[in-house]
Amino acid sequence: MRILLAPMEGLLDHSLRDALTRVGGIDHCVSEFIRVTDQLLPERVFTRIVPELLNGGRTAAGTPVRGQLLGSDPACLADNAARLASLGTGGVDLNFGCPAAIVNRHRGGAVLLDEPELVHAIVVAVRRAVPPAQPVTAKMRIGNRDESRMLDCARAIESAGAAELVVHARTKVQGYRPPAYWDRIAAIRAAVAMPVVANGEIWTAGDARRCRAESGCDALMLGRGIVADPGLALALRGAAVPSWSELLPVLAHFWQRIAGHVAPRHRAGRLKQWLNLLRRRHPEAQAAYDMVRTVNDPRAVGALLFGS
């Protein structure tokens, strides 16, 4: 079984990728999207969002990271994909799944699923621009407003040369509301020959078993589920999972990491965001969350939780 770490704008950035891959069990990561509009982005934009490019395209734990691009201009995406590839990414991923309204209004993410011809043109252009040794992959939802073009989009992505497709089993309109419709992924698997990865609403090992059974996928992409339970990938592999006391040093390392790139006024919020999800699976996280819930001074938060 292959386990991928999902991109999650505003949550799962390089600091959290570093923390979660230290826990283990993840085969590779996909970065949060790099927005491409009408210009070739400077290298510093890529390395700011994917600093793992400065470490051979891997997290500190050695897990490969694939940079993700989002946009709607095939030629501009191709130029930026070539630059990203030159920086040593473990491949180029294309975002056809972001449900954010501001992204969709600017013709990016899941709204493109209404235009399979454009989706095809984007993948073709990027595949031509990226060296053959580096895979081009894509992530999509099962639709924008509905599922009517789901199979058209999957076939367009495959015929354009993508090596793999991740499918989040909800439409844009359904957002992140449960349930995820894993059986729709099975329909996509039946329509294409390329590898398909299932994503959406996988919070526990039981969810993973049901997802694999309904989707037919062996490979899974984990998002909020592994943020809430950093040992989830290990659990899926039948390995020992970390206790809360073993996770505390990981949280402390995360806290140190975000101090290097997050403005002081936002640091406490980033830690509370993670603790808020952790308490879904770790009762001990509730006490930590309560301790800092109303505290915003980074020094006070550090002293309360980590003694520093």
Q: Are residues 49 and 96 in the same domain?
A: yes
Percent of the chain past pLDDT 70, that is, above it, reads: 100
Q: Are residues 251 and 224 in the same domain?
A: no
User: Which residues lie across from 222 on neighbouring strands?
Assistant: 5
pLDDT band at 105 (very low <50, low <70, confident <90, very high): confident
Amino acid (one-letter) located at 195: P
pLDDT at residue 189 is higher than 80:
yes
Over residues 275-292, the pLDDT tens digits come to 999 999 999 999 999 999
| CATH number of the domain bearing residue 93 | 3.20.20.70
Sign of CA dihedral 260, 264, 269, 271: positive
The three-point CA angle 92-98-104 to 5° equals 115
Q: Are residues 202 and 271 in the same domain?
A: no
pLDDT band at 166 (very low <50, low <70, confident <90, very high): very high
Q: Are residues 211 and 259 in the same domain?
A: no
Q: Are residues 169 and 261 in the same domain?
A: no
Percent of the chain past pLDDT 90, that is, above it, reads: 94
pLDDT band at 307 (very low <50, low <70, confident <90, very high): confident
Q: What is the mean pLDDT of the chain?
A: 96
Q: Are residues 201 and 250 in the same domain?
A: no
Last residue of a domain, one of 210, 236, 262: 236
| Residue at token pair 């309360």 | 304
How far apart are alpha carbons 260 and 199 in whole angstroms? 31
Q: Are residues 250 and 190 in the same domain?
A: no
pLDDT at residue 308 is higher than 80:
no
Find the domain containing 70 and state its range: 3-236
Whether the Cβ atoms of residue 245 and residue 26 lie closer than 8 Å to each other: no
HEC assignment per residue over the chain: CCEEECCECCCECHHHHHHHHHHCCCCEEEEEEEECCCCCCCHHHHHHHCHHHHHCCECCCCCEEEEEEECCCHHHHHHHHHHHHHCCCCCEEEEECCCCHHHHHCCCHHHHHHCHHHHHHHHHHHHHHCCCCCCEEEEEEEECCCCCCHHHHHHHHHHCCCCEEEEEEEECCCCCCCCCCHHHHHHHHHHCCCCEEEECCCCCHHHHHHHHHHHCCCCEEECHHHHHCCCHHHHHCCCCCCCHHHHHHHHHHHHHHHCCCCCHHHHHHHHHHHHHHHCCCCCHHHHHHHHHCCCCCHHHHHHHHHCC
Q: Are residues 82 and 226 in the same domain?
A: yes
**pLDDT average, residue stretch 125-129:** 98
pLDDT band at 98 (very low <50, low <70, confident <90, very high): very high
So what's the pLDDT on residue 101? Answer: 87
CA atoms within 13 A on the CB side of 200: 30
- pTM greater than 0.85: yes
So what's the pLDDT on residue 27? Answer: 98
Q: Are residues 96 and 193 in the same domain?
A: yes
pLDDT at residue 154 is higher than 80:
yes
Domain count of the chain?
A: 2
CA distances from 283 to 135, 190, 275, 280, 287 (A): 40, 41, 11, 7, 8
Last residue of a domain, one of 205, 236, 267: 236
Q: Are residues 227 and 248 in the same domain?
A: no
Helix pair 244-258, 298-306: axis angle to 10 deg: 160
Last residue of a domain, one of 214, 236, 258: 236
So what's the pLDDT on residue 261? Answer: 92
How far apart are alpha carbons 208 and 214 in whole angstroms? 10
So what's the pLDDT on residue 235? Answer: 98
> Which residues are tagged catalytic?
98
| Residue at token pair 């009762």 | 283
Q: Are residues 109 and 229 in the same domain?
A: yes
Find the length of the chain.
308
pLDDT band at 219 (very low <50, low <70, confident <90, very high): very high
Q: Are residues 160 and 222 in the same domain?
A: yes
So what's the pLDDT on residue 107? Answer: 87
So what's the pLDDT on residue 215? Answer: 98
Over residues 117-126, the pLDDT tens digits come to 999 999 999 9
